[in-house]
Amino acid sequence: MTQDIKLNKPAPFVTGKRLEIFNLSTEPKMTIQALEAGKPVLIADYYSNGVLLIKELQQYLKGKMPNKTFEEQREYRAAYHKLSNLILLEIINYKIDVKKAPAIGWLEKLYAGNDNFLLTFPQVQGLNSSWQWYQNGISVPTLRNKIHPYYGVYFPTRFDHLGVFDNWLKRYEGPKKSAVDVGIGSGVLSFQMVSHGFQKVHGTDINPNAIVGLKEFMGETKLSRKIDLELAPLFGSMDKETELIVFNPPWLPISSDNDRTDEAIYYPETLFPDFFAAAKTRLAPDGKLLIIFSNLAKIAEITNEHPVENEIAHHDRFQLERCYKKRVKKASDKTTRDQTWRSSEEVELWVLTHK
């Protein structure tokens, strides 16, 4: 039952320290010094004061730190994360207690029974963006209807890999009785499979928000009868053989403690060995195992290891039927980051079968 599932949400900020106040009469440089000294700062009067302080902090850090290579970008983000999460807003009666603040429905939806607390400014920005996506929906090229991602659930912002998967589904002529979507997230891959005739999809995820969000989104529609959901790692309680297993894992290995907070982006060392071992017993004799991946970690020089290549080379479980690759479209011209290292990024669709 979804009402028994504890949702992930930004934890209220708890401090025993006196709060510094930032308003239009406060000098930003002095406030940034306070942040660097570890002092929390409360935004007063207007929401725009928080926006101003965030911009000043970004400019300060950009002047202080290089921000060109992938590693430098990561260091910049870590410094920004540390300082910006000392900038606070007060929430009273599920509303942000400053003038001209956005109305965010998540405050009442996620914090029922807690009507007076502090959140960091980046947390509020994240909640606000998420609420807009949830309310307005997001168009996905491979789907007829918009998706409405729940707070804290990964959803695609680029669609190259979905196009590759959709093209594979169009050509697939095998049985379509059942499939498993490991790490279902916002449900896009499962929706694609159902639209291409799969009768039943079992979707698992370790993120409770993904399960609650999809149950709410599907309601009592035909989709809810075709897609089963389970809050569980890997295959969960599903121990029957299936014709198709689809896995769109995180594309970057964990390389720092900060990475552990984002399980949709970074994968732990044990993820792929555990997945392949479990997949071996769940894939039907003539079934297909599909893994959607990328060469991002290699071109960003994070690692030379490729978990799918390692599996094929060093284990006697699966063999490669085919690997489809597609060059990723160039990043937006509006981005402020140096994205030259992305020019050779490719998405990959690995199709494996039993050995």
pLDDT in tens, the chain (355 residues): 455 789 999 999 998 888 999 999 999 999 999 999 999 999 999 999 999 999 999 999 998 888 778 888 888 999 999 999 999 999 999 999 999 999 999 999 999 989 899 999 999 999 999 999 999 999 999 999 999 999 999 999 889 999 999 999 999 999 999 999 999 999 999 999 999 999 999 999 999 999 999 999 999 999 999 999 999 999 999 999 999 999 999 988 887 655 455 667 788 999 999 999 999 999 999 999 999 999 888 887 788 889 999 999 999 999 999 999 999 876 544 434 445 555 688 999 999 999 9
| pLDDT given for residue 296 in this prediction | 86
| pLDDT given for residue 237 in this prediction | 96
Query: What CATH class does 137-354 carry?
Result: alpha beta
Q: What sign does the dihedral 73-77-83-87 (CA atoms) show?
A: positive
| pLDDT given for residue 335 in this prediction | 39
| pLDDT given for residue 256 in this prediction | 62
| pLDDT given for residue 229 in this prediction | 97
| pLDDT given for residue 338 in this prediction | 43
Domain positions in the chain:
2-134, 137-354
